Structure 1
Amino acid sequence: MIDFLATNLVARSAFLLLVFMLAVFLVIAVIRIATRRAVLRSGIKAIAQSQPSERSTRLQDHRDDGWTKLAAQIEKAGLNLADTKGDQLREKMIAAGFTSPAAPKLFTLARLVLVLLLPTIYVLLASAGGNELSFFRLYLFGSALALLGLYFPNLFVTARADRRREAITNGFPDCLDLMLVCVEAGLGLEAAMDRVGREMLHSHPLVSALLSGATLQLRAGAPRDEALRKMGDRSGVEEVRSFATLLIQSDKLGTSIGETLRVYADEMREKRRLRAEEKAHRLPVLISIPLVVCMLPTMVGVLMLPGAVRIVREMVPALTGGG
């Protein structure tokens, strides 16, 4: 490899360019981290010295928006990052936990970069290794890597959304139990959601974020049905949407919220128990696959090997006339 780089001018230039790009990237990353820490320190000092009514505004102003600025600068350069299915992509990004307005544009940018970057890396590595690149090979591997770069961000976002929905689904029954305790203790719905959201910050942070967001909307003056409906839409979980609809109906009909929470909490715990039983019943089927693939050939070989050895030693010479 070193001899090839020393003798081949193109490979040496490509390698030096790659090293230079990595060094520039590391320097820029270190500078950005140092600048960000300095900005955060100044922002914290300003927040500590400000009045309580101004702190929320200052926190919003000092929020990290580097990705948003990056997307805006790329679009100003003439590259349109808007997707034809912008609304569906926006819902998918929110379901995966990417709530920034620039998340769909950054998703499109990531796909574009990977489509160009992966085939380029393959060409550079193949050239550096001294392998001759035929047109068929270049077309086959380049197309495969481009398709991988095109669909990998989509798979990543889908997997992240599935994990997020699973975490919310598993943590929501505990949230209902705590809300039931708070409501029966005399707290209102808004106060109960705020209290439970603060209590579940470490145990179930996704559920806590949903409750805190709905509480902030209620404090900002949004109608209760609108805040609850948006909470269900942000979660992407059908159980949370049903819970929001149930609370809206209970509020409009004047029924007891405590009784509603008790019934729905029992139902959610029952669903969680059924999901656990379903996973437990799937285990024997899943275990049989590695059993058949890995252990069964070994057992068959161990049982049949002595007989095969005896056949080779006794019957084969007799059949060939050597016995």
Structure 2
Amino acid sequence: MTLATALAGVAGALAAAGLADLAVVVARARVAAASATRERGRAARWVAALTRLGRRIGAPAAPRDLGARLAASGLPATVRTADAMAAKAGGGVVAALATMPLAGALPTRLALVVLPGAAAAGFFAPDLWLARRARRRAARAGLELADVLDLLRVGVEAGLPIGRALEEVGRRRSGLVAAELRALAARLQLGVPRADALRLLQRRLPLPAIAVLTAAVQRADHHGAPLGPALHALAQDARADRARRLHEQAAAAAPRIQLAVALLLVPAVLLFVAAGLVHGLA
């Protein structure tokens, strides 16, 4: 085996590693999408078990903002604050029981610290999960909001009542914001007062644009103010915010791309060139 052949082999291996890294990213996304249903079912069973355990041992009173955090995380309305507190209490008990074998092997002073710490971690872990879920929902809604507001403006300016416009936009589009608009339209059809339905929408999507939207709809209901200009301004602001977020995500991804190029693709190309030069000299 000549030196040119060896260099070409190394270059091919590095190029294959770079392509394999991209393939792994795509495969992970597909696997995550395929297993989302199974994970949700498994998580629901775990949460139900923790809730039953928490009810048996007794759960503390819920804080005032827990209902708002549950709504912002996108959980169904059937999940009550009492159920969430029972799940938190059950998580604390399970974490403490799981730590007991380790605490038994530690000195007494450390065991007295580890056991309460594990119970506290199990109790407050659902709060961290709710906060993370709410952040992801808010980021996803921020990316969808501009297009939804534009369609809503078109419907209102075409002469549709605001309730019908909300229903049509929710029915004709997919995504998180459209799903919330469909739920809002369903509540209005069931006879829920519009102010209460808008307040629930704001709780489930606690974004500044949604707060301004609900205020504009209420002004249009009470004072007859035109809704089209307000929706146009909101759509422009949402589009600018989306562009800013996408720019930040691209800036965060740039170092990783540069690292992959510098460590894999550039050496592969240089080795191919070196292999050709060695072969020509030989």
Q: Into which bin does the TM-score normalised by the smaller protein fall?
A: 0.5 to 0.7
1:77-226 equivalences in 2 (<5 Å): 79-85=57-63, 87-124=64-101, 132-201=105-174, 204=175, 206-226=176-196
Shift of 1:72: 8.5
Residue 65 of structure 2 aligns to a residue in which SS? helix
Q: Give CA-to-partner distance per residue, 1:237-284, whole Å, 9 cap, x none.
A: 221011110122233332333333223212221222233334555667
The one-letter code of the counterpart of 2:68 is E
Point out which structure has higher relative CO (alpha carbons under 8 A, 6+ apart).
Answer: 2
> Who is 2:223 aligned against?
253
Change (3 A) 1:224 1:142: closer
Shift of 1:230: 3.0
Shift of 1:102: 4.3
Shift of 1:194: 0.9
The one-letter code of the counterpart of 1:189 is I
> Who is 2:208 aligned against?
238
The one-letter code of the counterpart of 2:59 is L
Q: Give CA-to-partner distance per residue, 1:132-156, whole Å, 9 cap, x none.
A: 4432343343233223212211111
Stretches of structure 1 lacking an aligned partner (at least 5 in a row): 1-32, 34-63, 296-323
Alpha-carbon distance between aligned partners in 1 of 2:110 and 2:48, rounded to the nearest angstrom = 39
* CA contact 1:96–1:158 (8 Å) conserved in 2: yes
State the TM-score, normalized to the length of structure 2.
Answer: 0.63
The one-letter code of the counterpart of 1:136 is R
Change (3 A) 1:154 1:72: closer
* CA contact 1:198–1:208 (8 Å) conserved in 2: yes
Q: Give CA-to-partner distance per residue, 1:192-242, whole Å, 9 cap, x none.
A: 2111112223xx1x2123212221232233443443233223322221011
The one-letter code of the counterpart of 1:99 is P
- Number of matched pairs: 215
Change (3 A) 1:118 1:186: same
Alpha-carbon distance between aligned partners in 2 of 1:141 and 1:68, rounded to the nearest angstrom = 26
* CA contact 2:103–2:110 (8 Å) conserved in 1: no
* CA contact 1:183–1:189 (8 Å) conserved in 2: yes
* CA contact 2:72–2:134 (8 Å) conserved in 1: yes
Change (3 A) 1:229 1:89: closer
Change (3 A) 1:90 1:225: closer
Change (3 A) 1:148 1:107: same
Residue 157 of structure 1 aligns to a residue in which SS? helix
- Greater shift, 163-172 or 229-238, is seen at 229-238
- Greater shift, 274-283 or 190-199, is seen at 274-283
Shift of 1:178: 1.8
The one-letter code of the counterpart of 1:107 is A
Alpha-carbon distance between aligned partners in 1 of 2:79 and 2:249, rounded to the nearest angstrom = 38
Alpha-carbon distance between aligned partners in 1 of 2:59 and 2:117, rounded to the nearest angstrom = 23
* CA contact 2:216–2:227 (8 Å) conserved in 1: no
Residue 225 of structure 2 aligns to a residue in which SS? coil
- Greater shift, 240-249 or 230-239, is seen at 230-239
The one-letter code of the counterpart of 1:191 is R
State the TM-score, normalized to the length of structure 1.
Answer: 0.56
* CA contact 1:119–1:145 (8 Å) conserved in 2: yes
The one-letter code of the counterpart of 1:116 is V
> Who is 1:228 aligned against?
198
Shift of 1:69: 11
Stretches of structure 2 lacking an aligned partner (at least 5 in a row): 1-40, 264-282
* CA contact 1:218–1:224 (8 Å) conserved in 2: yes
Q: Give CA-to-partner distance per residue, 1:260-309, whole Å, 9 cap, x none.
A: 3223212221222233334555667xx49x98xxx9xxxxxxxxxxxxxx
RMSD over equivalenced CA pairs, Å:
3.5
Residue 61 of structure 2 aligns to a residue in which SS? coil
Alpha-carbon distance between aligned partners in 2 of 1:143 and 1:224, rounded to the nearest angstrom = 47
The one-letter code of the counterpart of 1:95 is A
The one-letter code of the counterpart of 1:239 is A
